[in-house]
Structure 1
Amino acid sequence: MSASHVAAGGRSHRAVLLTVTCLGQFMVLLDNTIVGAALPDMQNRLHTHLTGLQWIVDAYVLLVAMLLLSGGIFADRFGRKRVYLTGVAVFTAASGLCSLAPSVGWLIAARALQGIGAAALSPASLALLAAAHPVPQERVKAIGLWAGISGIGLAAGPVAGGVLTDAFGWPAIFLVNLPIGLVLLLVGLRSLEEARNPNAPAIDLPGTALSVPGVGVLTYGLIEGGARGWTSPVILGSFAAAAVLLAGFVAVEARRSAPMLPLRLFRQRLFTVSNTAMVVVGFALMGSTFFFSQFFVYVQGSSILRAGLQTLPTSLAMVVVSPYAGRLAARYGFRVVATTGLALAGLGLLALGTVHADTGYGNVWWRLAVVGIGFALTLSPLTGAAIQAVSPQEGGLASGISSTTRQIGAVLGVAVLGAVVRTRQSGGASFEAGLDSAFLMAGAITLAAAVPTGLWLARSKPAEASAAGRLSADPEKVAIGHEASANNR
């Protein structure tokens, strides 16, 4: 066989690999935003309250947050193809179970199973792509395509969710995953090649066993506190259990030779500041977008389809602006771009807190767009700063931790802001007034975070072959900025 045939075969294999990994990540990101459009229909058809909707979202995000780092290690140790296809199979099967769920409890359980699948699928897909592109420049381009193409799922989610829910009801948003998952399994089994890292660290079972229930019971206390009473024995007990479990997690991680969360990394100010800011980003972004469709449906009287379209400015702005965030960070430094993004997002959320039932959409969409632009400017620079704070060998770990802290913030955002709305309603306020309070709180916290980020985040810019060029384990489109800044240079 000639060299040209071999080269053509290699290019064909890489094209299939890129398609499979991008489509898998697209499915995961689509699920992040498609659910929001269906929440009002879920509430009506499943006869649940705000607490139930919070669990439908947080059950998924919680498992992704807590298992994401372990998913990457599993892929390295047991085979990236095996873990990727297992993740696809679990995610697809769980999507089918979600669509058939007869009650809120069954849907929450299926959503948790979806989160387990996503936590395996996302890091394994990127690991497969990186292993197939050993040349750094080719890897950068491949990851940029992976991030860009799969990131379209964020923008497509609100529209697809609105269309499917309006036409067929909320189960349709999960059924759409079935054909995608089946195609990925069929093609992946035939075309993907197995790859593993024999030197991968051991799986941190004690850390996982403490972190998942620790954050879980904390989330339970925050979500259920508004309904059961903040001083009830169950809620106080959940907070106490969370404190014990999370303290145990810190103690275990400090003593392990290969912890899932190396606490020594937090001695670096750049790493600590960037990850703290990332918790705020996850908190405000996920906590506020949880209510976008509900605002348009319940406060302004929009249809589910129209509400899905009306929420589009935020996700569309993030997809459009994200590719430029890395370039701006490369030119002006992490601090300027991240601080500007936090300030814009905070101001946008504060502006949303003044929107009412009679506010015309012409005076709403730009506020949503400002929120999206602001968060798009923060994600890549904050992840890049975390990566630059550590050694080149730990770049993937740092990026994975950055993604995990954002997901933890997302879990807390849905729980806390939902508790704010429910507490206001318990006090006699309207749902609209509760939403205003939630948006104002999210905006105030985000704006407040811009101050220490601006003061403490280093003036550094992405170093050559550092934050912009290293492998990112982020399961979302943050990698766009890294690869864009690398290409820009």
Structure 2
Amino acid sequence: MTTHPSGPASGPTPGPVTAAAEAAAPGAPAPSPSPAPAPAPGAPAAAAGPVLGRRGRWTVLAVCCLSMFLVGLDTTIVNVGLPAIGAGLAMDTRGLEWTVDAYTLVLASLLISSGALADRFGRRRVFRLGLTVFGAASLLCAAAPSAGLLVAGRAVQGVGASMLSPVALAIVVNAMPDPRERAQAIGVWASVFGLSMAAGPVTGGALVEALGWRAVFWVNAPVVAVALLLSVFFVPESRAARARRPDLLGQVLLVLLVGAVVGALIEGPHLGWTSPVVLGLYVLAAGAGAAFVRVASRRPEPLVDLALFRRPVFAGAVLGAVAVFTALGVALLLTTLYLQGARGWTPTAAGAATLPMALGATVCAPLSGRLTGRRGPRLPLALAGGFLAAGGLCLAVLPDGAGVPPLLVAYGLVGTGFGFANAPITNTAVSGLPPDRAGVAGAITSTARQLGSAVGVAVAGGLVASAAPAGLAAASRPGWALVTACGALLLGLAYTTARRPR
């Protein structure tokens, strides 16, 4: 996800702009960019794009936010439709896990490389290609006659989505050379994730009830068509002055590593943790991991800069990103399966029950960004950990027949914790790094978020895979305990690795 927006010669240099673009992945409010020192003598100038008027710049933001909304909506809208998908295609819990994780795994694995390709071949070109791939894959999912084709379509959707979220933000930053205006645009960009999270479950529930589960994929087609049309007329082309070299071997090894780890988590509860297939996945993960480290340590421009992990602050931020999105993946899947499977709620009612979670995330994300800017990441990260742990603990101890208000309060606590988490994690990841390394730091934390989401879905699905509807509440309790543990981990990171404001 290496983005290198350009602008007029007097604008910010590539480093901090790259940091803002790469750190502000879906759900991650980025810190406000600030002017940087002049480039060193002999350094290449940024590739200049056309100078846009104010209306043109904000039109570019609107088009790119539309793609961001599409990516976020597709994640949450599918979750609430999982029971209907399972019934329609005779899929068990394992198949439903792959339906979610096929998308997330591919997205996590390709974020960095897609940004690098956009820098080299043109951001608008790659953005439009991403929209086309995403739209075509959505149609494949909507028409899928079998579970295998649905999972394949979701994987292709992940390919398209990897070209949208980082590349679109790079287009926005490139179009807005003024740091103050750019900071406002990134704030709007970050809030779109909360809106997509709020709209997804409710919209998905209504579509499933009215038109069936295939409608949650058909709905992408008109949005993609509008975004493609607008991009032709309003989105300018831009490239990086110096694009990174592609690391194809590192990319392949990352896909194998992430796929083997999550595959073992999904297949282990069904096939047995010592079955030949799962043991083979262990071996594949270990081998791919060792080879990935070896390749990354020997290349001048590796896919992932392992030297960053020697900094406790950065390593803590990556761990926090994994923890937050693991908790979110667990919460979304368990909520959907429990409310519809154990309580018999309709998809619309189950989607509406997640509104407190989405509301907490939407309201607290901008507040967290302001707190992080004024007081540093420690306080908002501690608040994130406290709220997340409190919500997970409430859901872990609530009795099976608990009323609706306690459930909604607990979901609201989880969403509030999620809302507070992203800004301090982003800030912690890039703080204290030189400009030329801040961009890749943001890319790695964005990948960590998606990896955490995939792990959360795999763990949650494994916990409830063999549970009868009457036993879903009891089977879910270890998952809510994991959410509590993730909150406690954030609390610990707040007081051990988060930097104090200077």
Relative to the length of structure 2, the TM-score reads 0.87
Displacement of 1:266 = 1.1
Q: Which runs of 4+ in 1 moved over 6 A?
A: none
Greater RCO, 1 or 2 (C-alpha within 8 Å, sep 6+): 2
Corresponding residue for 1:349?
392
* d(CA) in 2 for partners of 1:9, 1:220: 46
The one-letter code of the counterpart of 2:477 is D
Change over 3 Å in CA distance of 1:87–1:205 after alignment to 2: same
1:177 aligns with 2:177: no
Counterpart position of 1:438: 479
Match of 1:386 in 2: 429
Matching residue of 1:109: 152
Match of 1:469 in 2: none
The 1:367–1:334 alpha-carbon spacing in structure 2 relative to 1, beyond 3 Å, is: same
Query: Structure 1 residue 357: deviation in Å?
Result: 4.2
Question: In structure 1, what is the equivalent of residue 492 of structure 2?
Answer: 452
User: What CA distance in whole angstroms lies between the structure 2 residues aligned with 1:201 and 1:123?
Assistant: 15
Q: Distance in 2 between matches of 1:46 and 1:439?
A: 29
1-structure distance, mates of 2:121, 2:399:
53
Looking at secondary structure, tell me which structure has more helix per residue.
1
Matches within 5 A, 1:224-263: 224-263=267-306
Change (3 A) 1:229 1:8: closer
Amino acid at match of 1:431: L
Counterpart residue type for residue 353 of structure 1:
A
Question: Is the Cα contact below 8 Å between 2:464 and 2:472 reproduced in 1?
Answer: yes
Give CA-to-partner distance per residue, 1:309-338, whole Å, 9 cap, x none: 111111121011100001122333312221
Q: Which moved more, 1:107-116 or 1:180-189?
A: 180-189
Alignment partner, residue 297 of structure 1 = 340
Q: Quote the residue 1:187 is aligned against.
A: 230
Q: Which moved more, 1:141-150 or 1:240-249?
A: 141-150
Matched to 2:442, the amino acid is S
1: CA distance between counterparts of 2:336 and 2:239? 42
SS in 1 for 2:139: helix
Q: Equivalents in 1 of 2:498, 2:80: separation in Å?
A: 39
Aligned partner of 1:314 among 354, 357, 372: 357
- Mapped contact 2:385–2:491 kept (Cα < 8 A): no
Q: Of 95, 102, 105, which aligns to 1:59? A: 102
- Residues matched between the structures, number: 453
Q: Name the CA shift for 1:191/1:455 in 2 (closer, same or farther; >3 Å).
A: closer
Question: Contact conserved, 2:191 with 2:365, CA < 8 A, in 1?
Answer: no
Q: Does 1:98 align with 2:141?
A: yes
Aligned partner letter, 1:442: V
Structure 2 equivalent of residue 472 of structure 1: none
Q: What residue is the counterpart of 2:464 in the other structure?
A: 421
Shift of 1:150: 5.1
AA aligned opposite 1:434:
A
Cα root mean square deviation, aligned: 1.9
One-letter amino acid of the structure 1 residue matched with residue 229 of structure 2: L
- Distance verdict in 2 for CA 1:147–1:442, change over 3 Å: closer
Q: Name stretches of at least 5 consecutive residues in structure 2 with no aligned partner.
A: 1-49
Larger mean Cα displacement after TM superposition, 218-227 or 335-344: 335-344
Counterpart position of 1:365: 408
What's the CA shift string for 1:380-426, capped at 9, x where partnerless? Answer: 10111101131123333222211111111111111122222336x49
Please list the CA deviations of residues 40-88 of structure 1 after superposition, one character each: whole Å capped at 9, or x if unmatched.
1111111111101110000001011111111111111110000100001
**Cα shift at 1:441:** 2.6
Deviation per CA, 1:69-126: give whole Å up to 9, x if none.
1111111111000010000110111111111111111111000000010001111101
Supply the distance in 1 between the matched residues of 2:155 and 2:413 (Cα, whole angstroms): 32
Find the aligned partners of 1:24 and 1:455 in 2 and give their Cα distance: 36
Amino acid in the other structure paired with 1:454: A
**Alignment correspondent of 1:220:** 263
In the alignment, structure 1 segments of 5+ residues that lack a partner are 1-6, 464-489
Equivalent position amino acid for 1:392 in 2: P
8 Å CA contact retained: 1:326, 1:381: yes
The answer to whether the 8 Å contact 1:36/1:289 transfers is yes
Q: Given that residues 138 and 221 in structure 2 are in contact (C-alpha distance below 8 angstroms), is that contact kept between their aligned partners in structure 1?
A: yes
Structure 2 match to 1:397: 440
Distance 2:487 2:167 in 1: 35
- What amino acid maps onto 1:441 in structure 2? L
Given that 1:355 and 1:436 are in contact with CA atoms closer than 8 Å, whether structure 2 keeps it comes out as no
